[in-house]
């Protein structure tokens, strides 16, 4: 015969309540972790949106022949110089660059920009992924990693994504030079 407490609960009931509370605590712990990751991802998204807004402005101004900085990001048709994608990235994410304050929101030590979102390379988590958009003959867009050596030419179409904690690309948007 089990003894009951003043609340009418026996030992089994207390054990069950402990399990129930542990479950809630565990789910809350996991949920908090997921929430923090989602918030970090939101930061990455808003950073990406800021980049796209800047790229759009750059394009608008170069179209109007208004001089723009940094020159490393201007296409060959405007500058008459062969800038590459790497030049532009270095310039804008440099210590004096427009987006120098951008950090990888998931892991600060990880790079801000990666070539691909790869599960095997854990440092790609939280970084920006830039892809070159090619439209094939039937009008269907195809996407390939934007290589460092890619020359900046007018009309170069770029898709920006962020690599999430599960190593999946979350598309932020597209822009062109």
List residues binding other proteins (CB under 8 A): 7-10, 12-13, 16, 19-20, 23-24, 27-28, 30-31, 33-35, 38-39, 41-42, 45, 119, 165-166, 168, 170-172
Among residues 25 and 135, whose Cβ is nearest to other proteins? 25
Q: What three-state secondary structure class fits 131?
A: strand
CB of 129 vs other proteins, minimal distance in Å: 15
Burial class for 132, CB neighbours closer than 10 Å (0-12, 13-18, 19+): middle
DSSP letter for 126, please: T
CA distances from 31 to 36, 74, 122 (A): 9, 44, 22
Among residues 61 and 143, whose Cβ is nearest to other proteins? 143
Among residues 100 and 119, whose Cβ is nearest to other proteins? 119
CB of 43 vs other proteins, minimal distance in Å: 11
> H helices of 122-169, where?
none
């Amino acid at each position: 015969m089990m003894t009951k407490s003043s609340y009418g609960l026996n030992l089994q009931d207390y054990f069950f309540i402990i399990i129930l509370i542990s479950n809630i605590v565990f789910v809350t712990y996991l949920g908090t972790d997921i929430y923090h990751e989602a918030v970090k991802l939101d930061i990455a998204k808003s950073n990406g949106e800021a980049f796209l807004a800047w790229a759009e402005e750059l394009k608008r101004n170069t179209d109007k022949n208004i001089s723009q900085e940094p020159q490393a990001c201007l296409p060959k048709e405007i500058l008459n110089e062969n800038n590459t994608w790497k030049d532009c990235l270095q310039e804008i994410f440099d210590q004096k660059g427009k987006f120098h304050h951008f950090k990888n929101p998931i892991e600060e030590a990880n790079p801000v920009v990666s070539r691909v979102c790869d599960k095997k390379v854990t440092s790609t988590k939280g970084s920006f992924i830039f892809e070159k958009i090619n439209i094939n003959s039937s009008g269907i867009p195809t996407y390939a990693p934007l290589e460092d050596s890619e020359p900046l030419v007018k009309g170069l179409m770029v898709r920006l994504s962020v690599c999430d904690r599960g190593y999946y690309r979350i598309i932020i948007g597209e822009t062109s030079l």
